[in-house]
Amino acid sequence: MSSRAWEALKQHHAEVKDVHLRELFAKDEGRGTRFAVEACGLYVDFSKQRITSRTLELLFSLAAERALGQRIEAMFKGERINITEDRAVLHVALRAPKTATISVDGVNVVPQVHAVLGRMGEFAERVRSGRWLGYTGKRIKNVVNIGIGGSDLGPVMAYEALRAYTQRDLTFRFVSNVDGTDLAEATRDLDAAETLFIVASKTFTTQETMMNAASARAWSLASLKDDASVAKHFVAVSTNEAEVKKFGIDPANMFGFWDWVGGRYSMESAIGLSTMLAVGPSGFAQLLQGFHTMDEHFRSTPFEKNLPVLMGLLGVWNSDFFGAHTLAVLPYDQYLKRFPAYLQQLTMESNGKRVTLGGADVKAGTGAVYWGEPGTNGQHSFYQLIHQGTRLVPCDFVGFMKSHNPLGNHHDVLMANLFAQGEALAFGKTAEQVRAEGVAEKLVPHRTFPGNRPSTTILAERLDPATLGTLVALYEHATYTQSVIWDINAFDQWGVELGKVLAKRIGSELEATDPKLEHDSSTNALVKRYRSRRG
Ligand code: G6Q
């Protein structure tokens, strides 16, 4: 990628790349708070990133050069920024207050959003209060969400994250994989008369989801023995009413959304029906409020204090200038155990692109590989590589002031670990320090930690619905920020579409006994082997 701002950053990188965080902290006493920003209930400390004030100035020039401000406005105004699918990208409308006006093709979509939220709320209250009864008159005790990708990862992540706020007499399960094991294990101990399935699919044509939904219906009918029971035990979340009807679900039990909501940006649309059943309409409203707070912040805050912009630009700095191809997300909260997996889809499906909006090859490295595990588990596993390996792995630490489960001093120990890891990564341990501890000379290199490994620490008061919304929106907008810098489309997913097509073709060949196979010699042999031995 070449431009004035990019070249200036390259030159600046050459000047600062060997400067150690130890040095930066030593010569600036206020660094730890000067490079921290507090907004939307989050305290975000960027000071352990390998930056100076000059780095930020140059990154802001790059953002200005890429017209980031205008591109943010274009999204909020409903312009068709998803150019390969010719669609607006308006997840921000899903969390806009009733009084807002956000138009697509001249139509204000906010009233439609709130109409669906209202219907979801009524339905959720009926199920939660026991007024919605199953076909045999029993109360619903189990909710099974069937969906995949964007129709699964958000719901399952939010359910786990907000467990402390859920109605505990309802059981929630999530089925996504076409592997029959997923559905079988999710339903084996459930009573069909007490089980409600949510079939969540934007298109209602996704092979895995449709197959799981059909098998779930067969499982349910095997006990309830009457097609009329489907209306009491299956609801749909989709944009495709015709397919929902074809499946046998009454459109009265369908909750819609729109083509301007991307799958991985849909957890606060009707796709979040399971979340609303779990935390109730008021908990869901708080979640939306959290998202909206970050939306407003992203839209109106100068870049210097704009959390998603800062986070996005620092990601570009680490990946394109320091060559860090990955980012570890390390939540020090057990309830966030699915957060890294959720972010993996959000960031990697969005920014895993190799051509610019204009179709040319991108001349920079794009989306980093996101991954992670909750602390402290990761410390006893992969942190070794982050501390002493040869690759640079920037980290995002996430922690909370208060625990939902205050148990002795567990929370203090958890947070002490979070702070200690960030500190150790940044400052390391020099050979002199190791020697001073009396370590034998031949072990000194092994026990030395180079440090200078960048991290960001995000702190919030408590993991509640609003905070979750704020956190997710932070990463959504950071992802968009990066896509603008790289000039790529964060909102299409042709790679996913390819998988959908390829599997269908081979699927029909597995069932046949001997059609001619016209793949490469490896695929032909694998298919033949499976065909001759399938159970
Ligand atoms: C998300 C992707 C993808 C999608 C799934 C499920 O942005 O498009 O993960 O969510 O393929 O699609 P359906 O909701 O249409 O079943």
Among 267, 493, 494, 502, the mutation site with the greatest number of ligand 1 atoms within 8 A of its Cβ is 493
380 is catalytic: yes
Query: Six-digit token pair at 179?
Result: 């592997």
Nearest CA to ligand 1 atom 9: 149
Q: What is the pLDDT of residue 503?
A: 78
One-character DSSP codes across 283-308: HHHHHHHHHHHHHHHHHHS-GGG-HH
Distance between CA 514 and CA 507 in Å, rounded?
14
Nearest atom of ligand 1 to the alpha carbon of 264: 7
**Contact 368/319 with Cβ under 8 angstroms?**
yes
Give the count of beta carbons closer than 10 Å to the beta carbon of residue 439. 15
349 as an active site residue: the answer is yes
| Beta-sheet strands, E only, within 46-168 | 103-104, 107-108, 142-146
Query: Do the beta carbons of residue 322 and residue 393 sit within 8 Å?
Result: no
Question: Residue ranges of the chain with pLDDT lower than 50?
Answer: none
| Bridge partners for 171 per DSSP | 142
Amino acid, single-letter form, for residue 428: G
Most ligand 1 atoms within 8 A of CB, residue of 151, 152, 205 to mutate: 151
Query: Contact 39/297 with Cβ under 8 angstroms?
Result: yes
pLDDT of residue 514: 67
DSSP letters, 181-215, are: HHHHHHHTT--GGGEEEEEE-SSS--HHHHHHHHH
pLDDT of residue 421: 98
- CA of 203 relative to ligand 1 center, distance in Å: 8
Residues with CB under 6 A from ligand 1: 148-151, 201-203, 206, 209, 262-264, 349, 493, 496
Q: Using an 8 Å Cβ cutoff, are 199 and 236 in contact?
A: yes
* Number of neighbours of residue 407 by Cβ within 10 angstroms: 7
3 Cα: distance to centroid of ligand 1 (angstroms)? 35
Which are the contacts of 443, defined by CB distance < 8 A and separation ≥ 6? 434
- The helix/strand/coil state of 171 is strand
With residue 238 as reference, give the H or E element that holds it. Answer: strand 234-238
Ligand 1 atom with least separation from CA of 149: 9
For residue 486, give both structure tokens.
Answer: 């790289």
- 3: phi then psi, degrees, rounded to nearest 5: -165, 170
Could you count the other beta carbons within 10 Å of the beta carbon of residue 509?
18
pLDDT of residue 501: 78
Integer Cα distance of 390 and 213 in angstroms: 46
pLDDT of residue 515: 66
Closest residue by Cα to atom 1, ligand 1, is 263
Residue 418 alpha carbon to ligand 1 centre in Å: 34
**DSSP code string of 449-512:** B-----EEEEEES---HHHHHHHHHHHHHHHHHHHHHHT--TT--HHHHHHHHHHHHHHHHHHS
d(CA 38, CA 72): 21
| Among protein residues, the one whose CA lies closest to atom 16 of ligand 1 | 201
Residue with tokens 């991954």: 371
Q: Which residue among the candidates 246, 500, 504, 519 is catalytic per the annotation?
A: 500
Ligand 1 centroid, distance to 151 Cα (angstroms) = 6
Gap between the Cα atoms of 278 and 281, Å rounded: 9
> What's the rounded Cα separation, in Å, for the pair 263 and 153?
10
User: Looking at ligand 1, which atom is closest to the CA of residue 238?
Assistant: 14
Report the atom number in ligand 1 closest to the C-alpha of 271: 14
- Over residues 458-491, the pLDDT tens digits come to 999 999 999 999 999 999 999 999 999 999 999 9
Residue 127's nearest CA partner among 176, 171, 165, 94 is 171
Q: Is the CB of residue 233 less than 8 Å from the CB of residue 146? A: no
Residue ranges of alpha helices (H) inside 137-191 are 153-161, 180-187
Instruction: Check 27, 29, 98, 380 and give the catalytic one.
Output: 380
- DSSP, collapsed to helix, strand or coil, labels residue 55 as helix
Q: Reply yes or no on whether 114 is catalytic.
A: no
Residue appearing with tokens 């031995």? 533
Read off the DSSP letter of residue 145: E
Q: Which atom of ligand 1 is nearest to the CA of 150?
A: 10
Residue 443 in 3-state DSSP? helix
Q: Exposed e or buried b for every residue in 271-304, given b needs 16+ CB within 10 A? A: bbbbbbbbbbbebbbbbbebbbbbbebbeebebe
| Whole-number pLDDT of residue 502 | 79
* 148 Cα: distance to centroid of ligand 1 (angstroms): 6
d(CA 263, CA 500) in angstroms, rounded, equals 15
Q: What is the pLDDT of residue 298?
A: 98
Unique residue bearing structure tokens 């009733």: 98
Q: Give CA–CA dist 466/483, Å, rounded.
A: 26
- Residues paired with 195 in a beta bridge: 142
User: Tokens standing for 167?
Assistant: 């109605």
